[in-house]
Amino acid sequence: MRKLKFLPSLLAMIVAVGMLYSCGEESEVDPLPDDSELIAAIASAVNRQDVSTNALPSNALTLLEDSMTFISNSVLAPELGYEVRTIVQRGADVGESTSAYFTLDGRELITRDAFRAGDRRIRNGRRVGRRARGLRDCFDFVFPVSLTMPDESTITLESDDDWALVKTWYEANPDAEGRPTFVFPFEVTFGDETITINNEEELEDAKSNCEVDRRRGRCFDFEFPISFTMPDATEITLASRDDWSLIHAWYEANPDATERPDLVFPVDITYRNDSTITVNSQEELVAARAICEVERCRERCFEPVFPITLIMPDTTEIVLTSRDDWQLIRDWYEANPDEEDRPAIVFPIEITFEDGSTMIINSEEELQEAKASCG
C-alpha cells in the first residue's frame, strides 16, 4: 500500500488553502494564559448589563458567526468583558446553550483545563470555546423530523432550511429553559447508509460516530478493525462502524474524563475512488483530512473574485490579488510555525458562480449559505 509522505511546508500550504476558502472546520485554539479568574469575575459581576449583539467587538462577532448557532443574549460586565450565550439551532445538539467569554477588545477567554481538553469542555460539561466546533454532525437527518419544544409545542422540519424555525421559537421565547427533544423514530444517513433512530440512547450512539472524526463530508473511511487508546490507557478495538458505541459507553462510565482517545497507528483508510492507503501517524491523518478539504473546495459551484483581504492571527493584513498570491499565506505560516489559528476574511467579498452570475457576500454566514446552495 502507498504511504503518505508530506513535508511540513506542503502540509501548511494545503491547510492554508483549505482554510482560506472556508471549506474546512476551525483549527485548534492557540495556547493562551489561563483566563479562569477573569471568566469567573465576568460571570459574577453585580453590575452586569444586557447589551445588543451589535455592541459586541467585531472580532468577537467574527468568532461567533456560525450557521450552527445563534446569539441568544449578550451581557457586559463593565471594565471586565462580555458573556455571550449562544444556542445551537440545528443538528443533534439542537437547543444546547453555550456561554462564551470575551475581553473588552474581543479576545476570546478560555480556561487552561478547557484548552487541554480537545473538545473544549470544562468540568461541568459546558462548552467553552470558539463557536462550539464539535457540534457539527457526521450524519444527515432524513426529513421530516419533529421536535418537542420546552413549552410542549411541536415543530416539524420538512427540510434542512426549517432548522431556522428553532431560532424563531427561541427569539419568541427568550426566557425559555431547556432543550427541544426529538420525536422518535426518525432516520439519519451516514454516507450511503440509512439508520433508524428509535430513542435518545440510539441518538447518542449515532453522535458517538462523530466523537473522533467530526469533519463533515470527509472523503475517506477507516478500514476496520481500528483501535483507540483511552485516557486511562486502556485500549478499545472497533470491529465495525457499529462499535463506535463502545467509545460512547466508555465516556458514560468515565464522566470526568475530558481528553480524547488516541487512534492507534498504523491504520488503513479508503478514499471515495476506492484507493486505500496506510496512515502511520497523526500528522499523516491530518494531511489526509486536509486533502479532503481541498477536494471539497474544488467541488464548490463558485469562485472568489480577487482581490481578497485576510486578517492574519497577529492582526496583520494580507491582500490576495490573484490565485498566485496563496503563496503569501504559506509564507506567513512558515514564518509563524506555532500559529494554528485561521485567517479571517474581510467582508464584503464578491463571488462568481458557474453560470457567470455574481453575488456580494457580506459575512461568514452568507458565505456558508452560498456554499450550501451548491448542493
Region 59-84: mean pLDDT is: 87
Distance CA 166, CA 156 (A): 10
Region 265-291: mean pLDDT is: 78
pLDDT value at position 83? 95
Confidence label for 144 from pLDDT (cuts 50, 70 and 90): very high
Confidence label for 131 from pLDDT (cuts 50, 70 and 90): very low
What does the DSSP 8-state code read for residue 122? -
The H-assigned helical ranges of 221-308 are 244-253, 282-298
Q: What percent of the chain has pLDDT over 90?
A: 23
Has this prediction a pTM greater than 0.75?
no
Count the Cβ atoms, other than its own, within 10 Å of residue 301: 13
Among 42, 45, 169, 40, residue whose Cα is nearest residue 111: 40
Distance CA 274, CA 219 (A): 10
Among 195, 166, 193, 196, residue whose Cα is nearest residue 181: 166
Residue 136 contacts residue 68 (beta carbons within 8 Å) = yes
Q: Which of 17-26, 95-104, 137-146, 310-319 has the weakest average pLDDT? A: 17-26
Region 98-124: mean pLDDT is: 64
Would strands 2-3 and 276-279 be described as parallel, antiparallel, or unpaired? parallel
Q: Which of 79-88, 108-117, 161-170, 314-323 has the weakest average pLDDT? A: 108-117
Tell me the Cα Rg of the chain. Answer: 21
CA-to-CA separations, 39 to 2, 83, 131, in angstroms, rounded:
48, 8, 17
Chain mean position to CA 117: 15
pLDDT value at position 217? 42
pLDDT value at position 219? 67
Is residue 96 over pLDDT 80?
yes
Mean predicted lDDT score pLDDT of the chain? 75
Region 182-209: mean pLDDT is: 83
